[in-house]
Structure 1
Amino acid sequence: MIKNYNEKIEVAAKLIISSKKSFALTGAGISTESGIPDFRSETGYYQKMDPISALSRDVLLKNPKRFYSEGYKILEDLNDKRPNMGHIALAELERLKLLSGVITQNIDNLHAKAGSERMYEVHGETRGIHCINCGKSYDFSVMKAKVEKNEIPPKCDNCGGTLRPNVVMFGDMMPDDFQRAVMELETTELLIVVGSSLTVSPVNFLPRYVDRLIIINSTPTPEDRNADLVFHEQAGDTLKDIVTEVKNINGI
């Protein structure tokens, strides 16, 4: 068993280089280094509010004042965050043609900000909003401006329908991105899991679609025993070191 950190970095880099097709699967742990608390830890968002009320479709539609005083505050907070070394490293692997894309549980937009081009955002995103009546899309800033003017719930300028964020809330169906991600993994050899506890369904089943698995997470996951390599380290530093080793091996 490989125990030395530097040796594991070298093996991870070689796995990525030799893989015919690789994807990353990211969770909240990759974004904590950008100042975003995760949702379930002792310091996470859900310790301050009930998630079923905070980010619920039912509450959004039936009790919008509560939604915009709780769940919306989380979404608004995410828009001001910046990507960290982990996001940047994955975008670099994609640029080097060694990563086919990113599947993310996160709604913080940080992969897009870091330069990742191929993303499957299986829990949605907070860049945009849409009307639940006519489907017209707007930038998130439109919702922010309306809420600041105390227009609750915000209404569509086109038809007067209710606007909602492009996030998957409790009570929503999984988006098309999830099925697209599953289809991608059916032909993927290596999955790099970063910052996910792999305890939230149905995303926690995705590692079972691949033959090779690297897990980078600060705490153990249920899939650690099935992984080729496991790093219980900070995501940013680990991914940065892997990219550096990839470049060293390839003489870049």
Structure 2
Amino acid sequence: MDTAKLESAVKLIRKAKYTVAFTGAGISVASGIPPFRGKNGLWNKTSPIFLEIEFFNKKPLQSWKKIKEIFYDSLGDAEPNIAHEVLAKMEKRSFLESVITQNIDHLHQKAGSKYVYELHGTYKQLVCTECSSEYDMSFADLNYLPPTCYICKGILKPDMVFFNEPIPPFAKKRSFEEAEKADVFLIIGTNAEVLPAADIPVTAKKHGAKIIEINIKETHFTREITDVFLQGEAAEIMKQIGKLLYL
């Protein structure tokens, strides 16, 4: 690890008035959650069709069987790793204002982060496709699929963004507002190639933020907007940042 770069990043965080973190699948790998893309990605082993909203609406049972297997049978046991914990401690100590995440795993909240904007929703909540009633996932018995709404008997859907669905308006609005306010912007474990997520770090840069990027390899951000690139696994680098911040 490049000690000079690490110290440079920590210096920026210490001096910053408004630091925001932007996280993706890479931050949760150390918690045992595989990324969607890449060599060991989920889409190399499973077709993403079951997460297309059109497929879900036509064949909810088939879709739910796969969703249960991939998300609900594994995510419930996942625990935050040191990277999530350091971000939560940074927030507590006023080194961090908020987290914008593309993850649906709820691990930032589980680690103790209070201000989390979930661009792609969360697996922890279910929403009725008929009347839009919302339920905590603990409401549903996933031994009986697809789960249905207590009020109208409509089919419940995980409250996460499926392919061809829009980003939740509130999360999108707040994410861009946070990016505009930031004077330091941390990119952690994501190359964010999908819009509108890809525009959020760019917005921060346009509004004068210094960009610190933590990724296992270079991304399009590294060449275009990053000021300090820390190459490596999110958990290991965030652990070092935590030490230097005396968290």
The answer to whether TM tops 0.5 is yes
SS at match of 1:138: strand
> Residue in 1 aligned with 2:50?
54
Structural mapping, 1:201-212, within 5 Å: 201-210=195-204, 211-212=209-210
> Residue in 2 aligned with 1:184?
178
TM-score, length of structure 1 as denominator length: 0.91
Structural mapping, 1:1-252, within 5 Å: 5-51=2-48, 53-76=49-72, 77-143=74-140, 145=141, 147-148=142-143, 150=144, 152-176=145-169, 177-210=171-204, 211-225=209-223, 226-247=225-246
CA distance in structure 2 between the aligned counterparts of 1:5 and 1:89, rounded to whole angstroms: 20
- In the TM superposition, what whole-angstrom CA distance separates every residue of 1:42-94 from its partner, at most 9, and x where no partner exists? 2111112221x121211211111220222332221222211000000111110
CA distance in structure 1 between the aligned counterparts of 2:189 and 2:18, rounded to whole angstroms: 21
Letter aligned with residue 154 of structure 2: G
CA distance in structure 2 between the aligned counterparts of 1:140 and 1:219, rounded to whole angstroms: 35
- In the TM superposition, what whole-angstrom CA distance separates every residue of 1:84-110 from its partner, at most 9, and x where no partner exists? 000001111101101001000000111
TM-score, length of structure 2 as denominator length: 0.93
CA distance in structure 1 between the aligned counterparts of 2:57 and 2:76, rounded to whole angstroms: 23
Deviates more, 1:224-233 or 1:109-118: 224-233
- In the TM superposition, what whole-angstrom CA distance separates every residue of 1:147-192 from its partner, at most 9, and x where no partner exists? 30x3x32211111111111100012111020121101211111110
Letter aligned with residue 158 of structure 2: P
Unpaired segments of 5 or more residues in structure 1? none
SS at match of 1:172: coil
CA distance in structure 1 between the aligned counterparts of 2:166 and 2:192, rounded to whole angstroms: 19
CA distance in structure 2 between the aligned counterparts of 1:84 and 1:153, rounded to whole angstroms: 32
CA distance in structure 1 between the aligned counterparts of 2:220 and 2:42, rounded to whole angstroms: 23
Letter aligned with residue 193 of structure 2: T
CA distance in structure 2 between the aligned counterparts of 1:123 and 1:196, rounded to whole angstroms: 14
Aligned in 2, Cα 1:198/1:171: closer, same or farther, shift over 3 Å? closer
Deviates more, 1:235-244 or 1:4-13: 4-13
Letter aligned with residue 66 of structure 2: E
SS at match of 2:198: helix
Aligned length: 240
CA distance in structure 2 between the aligned counterparts of 1:96 and 1:141, rounded to whole angstroms: 32
CA distance in structure 1 between the aligned counterparts of 2:17 and 2:29, rounded to whole angstroms: 30
Q: Kindly report structure 1 stretches of 4+ aligned residues shifted beyond 6 Å.
A: none
The answer to whether the Cα contact below 8 Å between 1:198 and 1:222 also exists between their aligned partners in 2 is no
The answer to whether the Cα contact below 8 Å between 2:6 and 2:230 also exists between their aligned partners in 1 is no
SS at match of 1:198: coil
CA distance in structure 2 between the aligned counterparts of 1:131 and 1:68, rounded to whole angstroms: 14
The answer to whether the Cα contact below 8 Å between 1:213 and 1:228 also exists between their aligned partners in 2 is yes
